[in-house]
Amino acid sequence: MSEFDYDLFVIGAGSGGVRAARTAAATGARVAVAEDRYLGGTCVNVGCVPKKLYSYAAHFHDAFEDSAGFGWNLPEAPRFDWATLRDNKIAEIQRLNGIYGRLLDGADVRLYNARAHVIDAHHIDVAGETVSADKILVATGGWPWVPDFPGNEHVVDSNQVFDLDTFPERFLVLGGGYIAVEFASIFNGLGSSTHLIYRGELFLRGFDREVREFTRDEMAKKGVQLHFETNIECIERAQSGLQVTLTNGEVIEVDAVLAATGRKPHLQSLGLDQLDIVLNDDGTLKVNEAYETSVPSILALGDVTGGPELTPVALEEAMHMVQHHFTDDPPRNLDYHNIATAVFCHPNIGTVGLSEEEAREVYGNIRVYSADFRPMKHTLSGSDERCLMKLIVDDASDRVIGAHMVGEEAGEVIQGIAIAVRAGLTKADFDVTVGIHPTGAEEFVTMRSVTRR
């Protein structure tokens, strides 16, 4: 008989926590999960899922305009109803919450609807009860961070923006990361007069420079008003909205301000600070290859550990963690190279592997192939939206080390390309692959001329 109530106690029922709980339970481990907010975590409730639904909604604006060139005549101007989108989103998330609950129940995982507090290396206080566990897993994800400036109480964060009472006809986004860029595109597409404020000279730092510049130009063409190298000095409530004063002296009046300025690990009130657990410089939990913190019985994965803040990464980490601690299989370490990602701005970005700048630093001699073109669809739609596709090749080995796209359904296209990049295929492999015609994606296998070296 084990000396502990549970073999694994998971704090946080997000994507990583639920996957870890179910996978560990499948090995025969006795598992419990504590969650004080909502099942499914950030992704399901205030992240990937509602964001993508809102992105779909925003794309209809362009679709209605594009349809005229294909012979469609709308009898009247389309009207957008915010409440319908918002409430349908709520219903879908409630459905997903129920699925997560049933998954845990079906795996025989006990769910505590409460915030857990770690007492020591093997004990947790949850819902007024003290329970023990051989391993404690922290998978509480991140929480939006809002900078300190006069009037910041008037902003909404990326958790709150989905459920605004009324639709903001004038909208301002503060930030330069993917969340900021996505919401600027979304509200612009839904019909808001949209501003994006970023303190740097160009948003999406860390992405390929050409991709960033191309995205900037395409977003501006769609009407997003971009303000770089400035910040919010203060916000005051005015009679007809919010008056936002920028550090460059400009004053903008809007109906809502979104602070998309990053997320920090959601570790408050967990009690970990009492255990002297070692942190990374950014305040995330420092872990080894087995997801162990400096207190070996306390594990952590997902956004709280400072790795890529991506749901599929947390899911993979969960499965690797279970393999390390609950199976006899030889442990494998997760390879964080060549993880594909997408940014659901308009147009979308899809990317995998190294940026051109990173490739020059790592490999030195590279070849860059790129195609910047007007998609076939827009020869009739009349839209001036363009598409960018780009391959980066190591000159010595001919291996494709980076692939990037800005254009419609870029994430869908890059998912397949990511397999090729991860498999180490060469440019010659791409060249002998027969394209699918007529598609935009065929450009990835028909680019023959070197754009630059």
Does 437 qualify as catalytic in the annotation? Answer: yes
Residue found by looking up tokens 């060249």 in the block: 431
Q: How far are the Cα atoms of 38, 212, 351, 353, 425 from residue 206, in angstroms, in the given order?
A: 31, 9, 11, 12, 24
Query: Which amino acid belongs to residue 117?
Result: H
In terms of phi and psi (left: phi > 0; alpha: psi -120 to 50; beta: otherwise), the region of 364 is left
Distances (CA, A) of 220 to 29, 185, 257, 369: 53, 10, 19, 25
Rounded-to-integer distance, Cα 38 and Cα 64, Å: 36
DSSP state of 273: G
**29: closest CA among 322, 328, 289?**
322
Find where tokens 């920028």 sit: 246
From first CA to last CA, the distance across the chain in angstroms is: 65
Helix 209-221 × helix 356-363 angle, to 10°: 170
For residues 191 and 80, is the Cβ–Cβ distance under 8 A?
Answer: yes
For residue 319, give every residue at least 6 positions away whose Cβ sits within 8 Å of its Cβ, in sequence order, or none.
Answer: 19, 20, 23
Query: For residue 111, which of 3, 17, 35 has the smallest C-alpha distance?
Result: 35
Cα–Cα distance measured from residue 171 to residue 359, given in angstroms and rounded to the nearest whole number = 37
Q: Where are the beta strands (DSSP E) in 98-191?
A: 110-112, 116-120, 123-126, 129-138, 142-144, 170-174
Catalytic residue numbers, as ranges:
437
